[in-house]
Chains A and B, each alone.
Chain A
Amino acid sequence: MTHKNMGHQIRHIVNNVVLIVLGALWLIPAYALLIDGLKTTSGVLATPVLLPAAFSFGAMHIVIDALSRPILNSLLYVLPVAVISTFVGSLAAFYFYKVTSFLNSTIFTIIAIATFVPYQITLVPLIKMVVSLGIFNSTYGLIFAFLIFYLPTGALLMSIFIAVLPRTTLESARVDGASDFTVFRRIVIPLTLPGMISTFIFILIETWNNFFIPLVLISSSSRRTAAVALLSYTGGYGTLYNESFAAAFIASLIPLVIFILLGRYFVRGLMAFGSGAKG
């Protein structure tokens, strides 16, 4: 009896130790992010990246100044995209849920596949279209471009969340006389709210961190996003790493905070995405 218990105990200890070690490895960049952004200029020159040094907000100040505009820009672009993609995506998901036909399923699948294709390939036609619409290097242009990729993603995610709603509940609403929009507003939205939050957060983080699309569509530095503005801090000679880390920290602050506070919704969204095939 004690042998088995011992075996169990040892197993649990090993389990925990392995995870702690791996977890620590995973956290090294975060650790570096924290301690290195707070180093002084001399600290940076004297200590290696992984060792802490005297505290100073100097680098942070410089970086916050430089990045405040890009961060505001990012918010300006990202929030509307996340809101629209989630809400309008839900509408579309509801439609596809209600009207099931071969045509619909095919269209849906084709669009779903398209969202998996690397978005970088749309580089040339995207720029052409944005330029011809006169919205190159503008807020509208970037939001428009983001929507092209993320609205279908929103519809895809929400369709997974809507698919698990019991059909009879929605049918009952129809028998009660509710129109489609009433069913959507009064029944679907309340019941899929966690899913909507997941989708919103997922798209928020994805668009905030998206580097490529703002890179190609925004030419003036006053309109740059946080992700792109980071470019000026990327290694090379003369850059001090405390500023690099401070910049990385500040630029990632908003998504990181959202992740810490609402991480479980983000995880739920990912899980739904992953089990989407299982339904």
Chain B
Amino acid sequence: MVKIKLENITKIFGKKGKEFKALDNVSFEIPGSSFYGVLGASGAGKTTVMRIIAGLETPTMGKLYFDDELVAADNKDLVPVETRNVGMVFQNWALYPHLSNYENIAFPLKVRRWTAEAINSRINELAEILGIKEIIHKRPGQVSGGQQQRVAVARALAKNPALLLLDEPFSNLDANSKDDARSLVREVQKSLGVTAVIVSHDPSDIFSLAQEVAVISLGTVGQVSTPEELYDRPRNIKVASTLGEINFVDAQVKKNSGGYSLVIADDVKVKGIDFKGLGNDSADRIKIGIRPEDLMVHKESQTSNLIMGKEWVPMGEFKASSANYSQGNFMVALQDQKATLKINALSREVVNPGDMVQLFVNQEKLKFFTLDTGELIPK
């Protein structure tokens, strides 16, 4: 329910001479009752952001507001952790190993001096929603990872917090449990209307849960927008890389009668690009970002029979140097014939190392960045 505002938050760790700037002038706003995502690679600073919001760290400079109330400013915590009314699910869940699941969830309520009956009914309520009734009297060590996570969520929600913080909550779960966990969290947030912030390095967490996302890399905010916007129009190369695997290739833009063509390597030319964003110089050099899922790979033998939409443009012949299978797809590492270019592509067909394939790219999904600043060139 609470609205959070970060204003020029800077966090410096360490002492004189050995300082480490974890966050540099980070500002963004989290609307009340929304599901907000903070995305970044490990060490980018996202966990620090979360800990500052929770109150476990103090911002060296800058201001933090909860609903227009100043909660922390310039190396001082005006409202300490204990009174911020925040529920937090840690990456390792941080359940109390010596207490039963019931007592774990009851802990924040006992601290607030709730009566035993009130605690009991509240826990039953939460146990129902989160599906942990059967294991409620067991100890954390005696139940599975997925169940521990749900206990941790229950504990965070027990005191009816204004804010729910999730620090990489799904990273310790196996692939199947992850999906279940994500839907559960989404449902819970929607029905309770609590403001939720999820911090993760996994773009799928963000895409499945967040309504708005702040991308952090090396302590600064790269971009703030909706997941779709981020995916389609990442502001720069750093942001684009954070969102998932992406190939970057340097290319020369040549203008000719039919439109533009991109010269990526001597033997790799992409023709017929419909592209307006460049300056007058017809021999500009740019950087292109291509996601593996925006490439199509076909074995030689089948190209003649294919019907493809006109957004798919041929890139030429490539050789597969390696292929990894992962969740229904093959991630294939491709090299052009002169071995000057390396591209990773996603293929739905079986590809073996050594195979020669034809590569096609979805030109609508190409992302162009300037070579010097790495900024996105709008189309």
A, B from the same assembly:
yes
Residues of A in contact with B (beta carbons under 8 Å apart): 102, 166, 168-169, 171-179, 182, 186-187, 190-191
B82 touches A171 (CB 8 A): no
Knowing A182-B111, A191-B98 touch, does A168 contact B159 (C-beta < 8 A)?
no
Is B310 in contact with chain A by the CB < 8 A criterion? no
What residue of chain B has the Cβ atom nearest to residue A174's Cβ? B81
Q: Given A166-B94, A169-B94, are A175 and B107 neighbors across the interface (CB < 8 Å)?
A: no
Other-chain residue from B15, B55, B88, B98 in contact with A172 (beta carbon distance below 8 A): B88
Is B155 interfacial (CB 8 A cutoff)?
A: yes
Residues in chain A near residue B94, CB distance under 8 A: 166, 168-169, 171-172
Instruction: Tell me, yes or no, whether B108 is within 8 Å of chain A by CB.
Output: yes
Report yes or no: B159 in contact with A177, Cβ–Cβ below 8 A: yes
B residues with CB within 8 A of A: 15, 54-56, 81-83, 86-88, 90-92, 94-98, 107-108, 111-112, 155, 159
B83→A175 contact, CB < 8 A: no
Cβ-neighbour of B92 out of A168, A176, A177 (below 8 A): A168
- From DSSP, what is the main secondary structure of chain A's interface residues? helix
Closest 7 CB pairs of A and B: A176-B108, A172-B94, A168-B94, A190-B98, A177-B111, A175-B88, A168-B90
User: 16 pairs across A/B with beta carbons < 8 Å?
Assistant: A166-B94, A168-B90, A168-B92, A169-B96, A169-B97, A171-B94, A172-B88, A172-B94, A172-B95, A174-B81, A175-B54, A175-B56, A176-B107, A176-B159, A178-B107, A186-B107
Contact check, A176 vs B56: say whether CB atoms are below 8 A apart: no
A175 pairs with B86, CB closer than 8 A: yes
When chains A and B are docked, how far (Å) is the Cα of A172 from the Cα of B88? 7
Asked if B108 and A177 sit within 8 Å, CB to CB, the answer is yes
Q: With A102-B15, A168-B90, A178-B82 in contact, is A173–B97 under 8 Å at CB?
A: no
Q: Given the complex of chains A and B, what is the CA–CA distance between A121 and B90 in angstroms?
A: 50
Contact residues in B for A177 (Cβ distance below 8 Å): 82-83, 108, 111-112, 159
A99 shortest CB reach to chain B, Å: 13
Inter-chain contact total with CB atoms closer than 8 Å: 53
Q: How far is the CB of A258 from chain B (nearest CB, A)?
A: 25
Residue in chain A with minimal CB distance to B167: A168
Residues of A within 8 A of B111 (CB): 176-178, 182
A174 close to B98 (CB less than 8 A): no
In the bound complex, residues from chain A placing their C-beta under 8 Å from that of B90 are: 168, 171-172
Query: Residue on A with the closest CB to B103?
Result: A186
CA distance A173 to B108 in the complex (A): 8
Most chain A beta carbons < 10 A, residue from B15, B87, B91, B97: B97
- Residues from chain A with Cβ under 8 Å of B155 in the complex: 176
Q: How far is the CA of A30 from the CA of B212 in the complex (A)?
A: 74
Binding site secondary structure of chain B:
loop
On chain A, the residues within 8 Å of B56 by CB distance are: 171, 174-175
- Chain B, Cβ-Cβ closest to A186: B107
A176 to B97, CA, bound (A): 15
In the assembled complex, which residues on chain B have CB atoms less than 8 Å from the CB atom of A171? 56, 90, 94
Residues of A contacting B82 in the complex (Cβ-Cβ under 8 angstroms): 174-175, 177-179
How far is it, in angstroms, between the C-alpha of A179 and the C-alpha of B86 when the chains are bound?
15
B92 touches A173 (CB 8 A): no
The residue of chain B having its C-beta at the shortest distance from the C-beta of A169 within the complex is: B94
- For the complex, what is the distance from the CA of A210 to the CA of B75, rounded to whole Å? 49
In the complex, the chain B residue whose C-beta lies closest to that of A182 is B111
Given contacts A166-B92, A168-B94, A176-B108, 20 further A-B contacts (CB under 8 A): A102-B15, A168-B91, A169-B94, A169-B96, A171-B56, A171-B90, A173-B107, A175-B54, A175-B55, A175-B81, A175-B82, A175-B87, A176-B155, A177-B82, A177-B108, A178-B107, A179-B82, A186-B107, A191-B97, A191-B98
B15, B107, B159, most chain A CB atoms within 10 A:
B107
Chain A residues positioned under 8 Å from B81 (CB to CB): 174-175
* C-alpha spacing A245/B80, complex, angstroms: 62
A191 to B55, CA, bound (A): 24
A174 and B98 alpha carbons, distance in the complex (Å): 17
How near does chain B come to A192, taking the closest CB pair, in angstroms? 11
CB neighbours of A178 from chain B (8 A): 82, 107, 111
For the complex, give the distance between the alpha carbons of A102 and B108 in Å.
Answer: 33
Output the nearest chain B residue to A175 by Cβ-Cβ distance: B88
* A74 to B95 CA separation, bound complex (whole angstroms): 43
Q: How many Å from the CB of A26 to the closest CB on chain B? A: 38
- Return A196 CB to nearest CB of chain B, in Å: 14
Complex: how many Å from CA A174 to CA B107? 11
Contacts of B83 in A (CB 8 A): 177
Among B15, B54, B94, chain A packs the most CB atoms within 10 A around the CB of: B94
Q: A177-B82, A179-B82 are in contact. Are A187 and B54 (CB under 8 A)?
A: no
Residues of B within 8 A of A169 (CB): 94-97
Residues in A neighbouring B108, C-beta threshold 8 A: 176-177
Residues of chain B lying within 8 A (CB to CB) of residue A102: 15
- Give chain B nearest CB distance to A92 CB in angstroms: 22
Chain A residues in 8 Å Cβ range of B112: 177
> Which chain B residue lies CB-closest to A180?
B82
Please give the distance in Å from B84's CB to the nearest CB on chain A: 8
Taking CB atoms, residues of chain B closer than 8 Å to A168 are 90-92, 94
* Closest beta carbon of chain A to B257's beta carbon, Å: 63
Give the shortest distance, in Å, between B76 (CB) and chain A (any CB).
16
List the A residue with the shortest CB-CB distance to B108: A176
Smallest beta-carbon distance B92→chain A, Å: 6
Q: How far is the CA of A173 from the CA of B95 in the complex (A)?
A: 9
Q: Give CA–CA (A168, B82) in the complex, Å.
A: 15
The interface centre, meaning the residue of A169, A173, A177 with most chain B CB atoms within 10 A of its CB, is: A177
B235 to chain A, nearest CB (A): 33
Q: Which residue of B lies closest to A170 (CB)?
A: B94
Q: Which residue of A lies closest to B90 (CB)?
A: A168
